[in-house]
Amino acid sequence: MLFWWVDFCITIKNMKRPNKNLPLIIIGLLLVLDIFLWRLIIFYKIDAPKYYFLDVGQGDSELIIASDNFGNPIKILIDGGPDNKILTQLGKILEPGDRYIDLVLMTHPQLDHFGGFIDVLRNYKIGAFLGTGRAASILAYKQLIEIIKEKNIPYVILKEGDKIKYGEVIFDILSPNKKDLASIELNDTCLVTLITIGSHRALYVCDAGFNIEDELISKYNLASDILKVGHHGSRFSSSAKFLSAVDPRVAIIEVGKNSYGHPTQSALANLSEVGAKIYRTDLSGNLLIQFENKKLKIYQEK
C-alpha cells in the first residue's frame, strides 16, 4: 500500500541578530510546504474502507482495511479459516512485502475459525491479538497460544459491552456475556461484533445460533448494511426474526465444500425474504465490498 510520509520540522536557534535573508527563507519554506501539500492532494488518496470476505474453504475469515487518524491504512483480520489457505488470499490483497496486520481477532476457538492464524502469526507481524480468552483442548489451539507468547503479541480479552475505536473504525462487542462464555457449546461463546465506519455498519455474527440471535434482538439495534451470515448458513442460525432486525443490504455466506448441507435452504429463504443480496465465497471466491459515492459496490474474484 503506497502512502506518503511527510516529516516537516524547522528548528531555528542561537539567532542573536536579525537575518537580512530571513523573509526570503520564510517565503522559500512556505513554497516548499506548499509543494508538499499539493503533492499530498494530488498523489495521496485515502481509499474508502474495504470489507473483504476471504475464500478459505469451509471456514470464516474477513479482512477490513480502513484508515487511522493520519490517513494511513489499518488492517483488521477477523478469523483465519481452517488452514494456511489464508496466506494465499492475503497475498492477493496486500502489497508485496506488506507483512504487518494491526489487529487479529479470533471469534472463538474452533479450528475452522482460527487454524489459519498459526501461519499468519508465523509470517506477519501482529499489533495485537483479540479474543474472548476461552480456550480449546485441541493441539492447534495450543500451538497458536505458544506462537502468541513466543512473539510477545499482546492478547486483549473482549466481552459484551466492550468498545474499541481504532482510527475511523468503531468496534462494538455485542456478545458473549459471562453466561454465554461459560456455555459448553463453543458457538455460544463467539465474539459478535458490530463495526461502524462513518455512516455504514457491518455485523459479524461468527457462528451464533438462534439463542444468541434472540439475545441480540432483545438488547440492540442491529440494523446493518452488511451481514456476515451466521454459522455458514446452517439450519441453527439466520432466523426470520433476526434477519428482519438486521435488514441487511448484502449478506455474505462464507462456506466451502462440506457435508453439513451449508448453506441450508431455510437460511437462504430467510435471507431472500428480507431482500438481501446473497453472496457466497464458494461461488464467488474472495469478495470485496466498498461504499463509493454513497453506493454499495461488490467485487467478486470469480
Q: What is the CATH number of the domain that holds 230?
A: 3.60.15.10
Question: 481509499: which residue's cell?
Answer: 47
89 domain residue, yes or no:
yes
Q: Domains in the chain: how many in total?
A: 1
Q: Which long-range contacts (CB under 8 A, 24 or more apart) does 149-153 make?
A: 151/121, 151/126, 153/121, 153/126, 153/128, 153/129
33 domain residue, yes or no:
no
pTM, entire model? 0.84
Per-residue pLDDT band at 137 (split at 50, 70, 90): very high
Q: Quick one: which of 262, 215, 260 has its CA closest to 241?
A: 215
244 domain residue, yes or no:
yes
pLDDT tens, residue by residue, 35-79: 333 333 333 345 789 999 999 999 999 999 999 888 889 999 999
Question: 457491518: which residue's cell?
Answer: 202
| pLDDT at residue number 71 | 85
Average pLDDT over residues 28-41: 40
Is a pLDDT exceeding 80 seen at residue 100?
A: yes
158 domain residue, yes or no:
yes
99 domain residue, yes or no:
yes
pLDDT tens, residue by residue, 153-180: 999 999 999 999 988 999 999 999 999 9
38 domain residue, yes or no:
no
Structural domain range at position 70? 50-300
277 domain residue, yes or no:
yes
3 domain residue, yes or no:
no
Average pLDDT over residues 116-125: 98
- List, edge to edge, every strand of the sheet that includes 169-175: 163-166, 169-175, 192-197, 200-204, 226-228, 250-253, 277-280
